[in-house]
């Protein structure tokens, strides 16, 4: 009886501590946002933070933007449940930065003003290209937003001790998750509408410091527990996972050999290849990452910010290995899936166990869990603010100002429309996230990467490097790649026909792969090529001007 009362007291303390820490973080970030709103006077301030950030600051902010809930919660969870195969996400997300650095960062900063469409529309007809770019930006951002909101729901359920069958403030587990998703959505709308790019960037910088500190502390505790012996950590992880030696070898989730079914084996291997392609090519097409290059004053600063980002992100992804295998060894696969089927709470559960062992008892566990959960929440809030800003900027600057108003909108009108757009996009994301709660957040982000690489990347690369490329090619590339990716996802096991699908009770799937990248990315490039050669339009002088601008920065804003 006494033990039960002590456990209840511990869990109440944990809840109170967590809620307090979370409220403190929200209060700090809201204060930053209000302060930033006083510095936001022009469209350049709202969209690009007045181009006032240094390479290091922007590198930290890119890291903060990129190290999302998928990185912290999703990758740790997928490694904890699938071992070696989960490691693919860490490698893919990191290698993708080389593509962004070598092909896109500097050229994009030199060529544009606020959004990806500024580069695409430079030598083409404004209206069709900007409309297509706005549609693509919003689609990719909503896919990415789903991952963050689902992570938030899973996290709060863990923090408040809500498991299936338990209640909090009269809400069951599912209702509490929905309430959390709505709350995160409301906060992200406030960050963007009030603070603009300046507020969002400072929130991301604060969050990057917190996340690196939290991940490093947990990694050191995991290694200290095993006396820095990696072999014994991996051995325990394999034993506790319930999968044995297979946990440390490829083939548990991807490239699975199905005896007697050659077709199923082939599809599983293709899924692995598709995921790898989407992860590596996706970053260079992500709108919320691309707009970060406009917040620095020069192309050199853009290049420097990507180098800082690679250092920060690379270190972080090495730490996720220790977190994932540590969660498998110390928490155990069955306990992780009992809390969250997709494994999204593995890292916070590991924090709780480490706190109990190193800081002493339930209170120690509650303290470390509260700190790591507050960091994870910071992660989610910072990333959703960046995503919402990217999509609302595109709607206001590309669609409203340049398509609806034909370039005649005032800066004040543009910023007002951006704020209204943030509200609408936030509402749509909240509704969709409620249906996606069964999916792993790293996996959801991989879908966003596939959609970005299919629709945006072909148009960006062709625009920067192909003299013959024209309006028709750009529109075909964006809509073709985007449509292929979205249609294939809709008819894949992700949406229906599988126990972990968004709609598990329905079945309309016919596309066998979980990630569409291997089909939709080449299809996007093919559409861009075909659209270009079928149209006679060509403006070589404008291409020459773009080439000079992209390489030298001459004439860039």
* pLDDT average, residue stretch 40-68: 71
Q: Where are the domains of the chain?
A: 20-396+407-552
* Partners of 496 in beta bridges: 503
The answer to whether 422 touches 47, Cβ cutoff 8 Å, is no
Instruction: Say what percent of the chain tops pLDDT 70.
Output: 86
Backbone Cα Rg of the chain: 23
pLDDT in tens, 402-429: 788 877 777 778 778 878 888 888 888 8
Confidence band of 5 (pLDDT split at 50, 70, 90): very low
pLDDT at 364 over 70: yes
pLDDT at 219 over 90: yes
pLDDT at 411: 73
Secondary structure (DSSP) of 337-403: HHH-TT-TTHHHHHHHHHHIIIIIHHHHHHHHHHHHHHHHHHHHHHHHHHHHHHHHHIIIIIIIIII
Confidence band of 19 (pLDDT split at 50, 70, 90): confident
pLDDT at 163 over 90: no
Which of 185, 84, 173, 157 is closest to 387 using CA atoms? 185
pLDDT at 136 over 80: yes
Q: Is 287 exposed, middle or buried (0-12, 13-18, 19+ CB in 10 A)?
A: buried
pLDDT at 1: 46
pLDDT at 275: 86
Which tokens sit at 58? 């922007």
Read off φ and ψ for residue 168, nearest 5 degrees: -145, 125
pLDDT at 102 over 90: no
pLDDT at 4: 43
Q: Is 460 exposed, middle or buried (0-12, 13-18, 19+ CB in 10 A)?
A: buried
Residues 6+ apart with CB under 8 A from 301: 53, 54, 55, 58
Round to whole Å and give the CA distance between 301 and 56: 8
The answer to whether 463 touches 514, Cβ cutoff 8 Å, is no
Which tokens sit at 3? 């033990």
* pLDDT average, residue stretch 230-259: 81
* pLDDT average, residue stretch 144-166: 72
Confidence band of 263 (pLDDT split at 50, 70, 90): confident
pLDDT at 217: 92
pLDDT at 543 over 70: yes
Round to whole Å and give the CA distance between 35 and 40: 9
pLDDT at 143: 80
pLDDT at 10 over 60: no
Round to whole Å and give the CA distance between 551 and 378: 37
Round to whole Å and give the CA distance between 433 and 183: 12
* pLDDT average, residue stretch 310-315: 88
pLDDT at 142: 82
pLDDT in tens, 164-206: 666 666 777 677 777 877 877 787 777 767 766 677 777 778 8
Read off φ and ψ for residue 534, nearest 5 degrees: -85, -10
Angle between helices 173-190 and 2-39 (to 10 degrees): 20
The answer to whether 303 touches 105, Cβ cutoff 8 Å, is yes
The chain-wide mean pLDDT, for the chain, equals 79
- The CATH class of 20-396+407-552 is mainly alpha
pLDDT at 250 over 60: yes
The SS3 assignment for 69 reads helix
């Amino acid at each position: 009886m006494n033990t039960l009362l002590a456990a209840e007291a511990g869990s109440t303390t944990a809840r109170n501590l967590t809620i307090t820490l979370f409220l403190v973080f929200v209060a700090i970030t809201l204060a930053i946002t209000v302060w930033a709103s006083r510095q936001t006077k022009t469209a350049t301030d709202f969209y690009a933070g007045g181009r006032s950030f240094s390479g290091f600051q922007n590198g930290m902010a890119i890291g903060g933007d990129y190290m999302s809930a998928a990185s912290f919660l999703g990758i740790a969870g997928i490694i904890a449940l699938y071992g070696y195969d989960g490691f693919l996400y860490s490698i893919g997300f990191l290698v993708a930065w080389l593509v962004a650095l070598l092909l896109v960062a500097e050229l994009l900063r030199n060529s544009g003003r606020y959004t990806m469409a500024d580069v695409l529309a430079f030598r083409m007809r404004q209206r069709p290209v900007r409309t297509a770019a706005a549609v693509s930006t919003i689609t990719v951002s909503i896919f990415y937003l789903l991952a963050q909101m689902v992570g938030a729901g899973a996290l709060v359920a863990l923090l408040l001790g809500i498991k299936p069958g338990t209640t909090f403030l009269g809400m069951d587990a599912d209702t509490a998750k929905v309430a959390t998703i709505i709350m995160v959505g409301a906060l992200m709308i406030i960050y963007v509408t009030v603070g603009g790019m300046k507020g969002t960037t400072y929130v991301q910088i604060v969050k990057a410091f917190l996340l690196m500190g939290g991940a490093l502390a947990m990694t050191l505790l995991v290694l200290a527990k095993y006396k820095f012996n990696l072999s014994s950590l991996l051995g325990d992880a394999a034993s506790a996972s319930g999968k044995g030696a297979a946990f440390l070898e490829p083939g548990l989730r991807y490239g699975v050999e199905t005896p007697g079914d050659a077709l199923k084996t082939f599809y599983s291997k293709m899924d692995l290849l598709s995921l790898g392609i989407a992860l590596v090519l996706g970053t260079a097409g992500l709108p919320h990452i691309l707009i970060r290059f406009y917040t620095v004053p020069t192309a050199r600063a853009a290049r420097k910010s990507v180098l800082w980002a690679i250092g920060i992100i690379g270190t972080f992804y090495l730490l996720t290995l220790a977190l994932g295998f540590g969660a498998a060894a110390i928490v155990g696969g069955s306990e992780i899936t009992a809390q969250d089927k997709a494994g999204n709470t593995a890292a916070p559960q590991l924090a709780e166990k480490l706190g109990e062992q190193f800081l002493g008892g339930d209170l120690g566990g509650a303290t470390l869990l509260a700190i790591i959960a507050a960091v994870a929440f910071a992660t989610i809030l910072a990333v959703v603010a960046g995503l919402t800003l990217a999509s609302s900027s595109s709607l206001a600057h590309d669609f409203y100002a340049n398509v609806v108003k034909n370039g005649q909108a005032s800066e004040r009108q543009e910023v007002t429309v951006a704020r209204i757009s943030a509200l609408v996009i936030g509402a749509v994301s909240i509704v969709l996230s409620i249906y996606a709660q069964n999916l792993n957040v790293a996996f959801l982000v991989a879908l966003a990467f596939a959609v970005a690489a299919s629709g945006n990347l072909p148009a960006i690369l062709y625009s920067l490097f192909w003299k013959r490329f024209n309006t028709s090619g750009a529109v075909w590339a964006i809509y073709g790649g985007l449509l292929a990716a979205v249609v294939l996802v809709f008819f894949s096991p992700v949406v229906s026909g599988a126990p972990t699908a968004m709609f598990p009770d329905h079945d309309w799937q016919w596309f066998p792969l979980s990630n569409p990248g291997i089909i939709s990315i080449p299809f996007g490039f093919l559409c861009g090529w075909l659209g270009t050669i079928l149209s006679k339009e060509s403006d070589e002088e404008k291409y020459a001007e773009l080439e000079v601008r992209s390489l030298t920065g001459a004439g860039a804003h």
